[in-house]
Chains A and B, each alone.
Chain A
Amino acid sequence: MISQIVSAVGVVIAGVFVCALYYWLSDKALQLAFPVPEDNVRAASVNLNRRAVVRPWLFLGPALILLVVYLVYPVIATFILSFYDRSGGNFVGLANYRWAIQDGQFRQSIFNNILWLAVVPAACTFFGLVIAVLTDRIWWGNIAKSLIFMPMAISFVGASVIWKFIYEYRGGNGAQIGLLNAIVEAFGGQPQVWISLPFWNNFFLMIILIWIQTGFAMVILSAALRGIPEETIEAAVIDGANGWQIFWKIMVPQIWGTIAVVWTTITILVLKVFDIVLTMTNGQWNTMVLANLMFDWMFRGGGDSGRSAVIALVIMAAVTPIMIWNIRQANKEMGGH
Chain B
Amino acid sequence: MTAIASLRRVGLPRLVVHVSVLLICIVWLIPTLGILVTSFRDAGQITASGWWTAFTGAAETSAARLGEPSTARQEGANYVISGSVFEGGQGGTVRAFGTRVAAPTEFPAGQTADIGNGETLTINEDGSYIYSKNAPFEGRGKRVYLSVATPPSFTTDNYRTVLTSQGIGQSFVNSLTVAIPATIIPILIAAFAAYALSWMEFPGRALIIAMVVGLIVVPLQMSLIPLLRMYNEIGNFFGVPSRSYAGIWLAHSAFGMPLAIYLLRNYIAGLPREIIESARVDGASDFEIFVKIILPLSFPALASFSIFQFLWTWNDLLVAMVFLGTGKDQLVLTGALNALLGSMGGKWEILTASAFITIVVPIIVFFALQRYLVRGLLAGSVKGG
Interface residues of A (CB under 8 A from B): 1, 4-5, 8, 11-12, 15-16, 19-20, 23-24, 27, 31, 52-53, 55-57, 59-60, 62-64, 66-67, 69-75, 77-78, 81, 88, 131, 134-135, 137-138, 141, 144, 146-158, 160-166, 168, 170, 173-179, 182, 211, 216, 219-220, 223, 261-262, 264-269, 271-272, 274-275, 278-279, 290-291, 294-295, 298, 305, 308-309, 311-313, 315-316, 319, 322-324, 326-327, 330-331, 334, 337
Contacts and interface: CB of A to CB of B under 8 A. Distances in A.
B200 interface: yes
Contact of B334 (A275, A291, A316): A275
B5 interface: no
A60 B192 contact: yes
Interface stretch (B76-84, B114-122, B225-233): B225-233
A331 B193 CA distance: 18
11 contacts: A11-B245, A23-B287, A81-B226, A153-B311, A154-B315, A165-B38, A176-B50, A219-B377, A279-B341, A294-B224, A319-B218
- Residue of A67, A148, A262 contacting most chain B CB atoms (<10 Å): A67
Contacts of B374: 219, 223
Contact of B177 (A11, A23, A24): A11
B162 interface: no
A242 to B, nearest CB: 11
B180 interface: yes
A157 B25 contact: no
A78 B218 CA distance: 12
Contacts of B202: 53, 56-57
Contact of B226 (A11, A77, A269, A290): A77
A163 B28 contact: no
A21 to B, nearest CB: 11
A157 to B, nearest CB: 4
B173 A66 contact: no
B31 A177 contact: no
B384 A67 contact: no
Contacts, number: 348
Contacts of B271: none
B182 to A, nearest CB: 9
Interface in B308-329: 311, 314-318, 321-322, 329
B255 A70 contact: yes
Interface string B174-205: 10110011001100111011011100101001
Given A11-B181, A59-B290, A161-B355, 16 more contacts: A8-B177, A55-B196, A56-B196, A151-B28, A155-B316, A155-B333, A161-B337, A161-B352, A165-B351, A177-B49, A219-B378, A223-B378, A261-B382, A265-B381, A272-B385, A323-B217
A268 B322 CA distance: 21
Contacts of A177: 46-47, 49-51, 348
Contacts of B284: none
Main secondary structure of the interface of A (DSSP, over half): helix
B219 A161 contact: no
B123 interface: no
A223 B374 CA distance: 10
Contacts of B341: 157, 160-161, 164, 279
B219 A312 contact: yes
A298 B47 contact: no
B57 interface: no
A66 B30 CA distance: 42
Given A27-B287, A323-B214, A312 B221 contact: yes
Contacts of B209: 330, 334
Interface in B42-78: 46-52, 59, 61
A334 B314 CA distance: 34
B211 A67 contact: yes
Contacts of A166: 31, 34
A124 B77 CA distance: 74
Nearest to A157: B334
A294 B228 CA distance: 14
B385 A269 contact: yes
Nearest to B221: A312
A291 to B, nearest CB: 6
B279 interface: no
Nearest to B334: A157
Contact of B181 (A16, A23, A291): A16
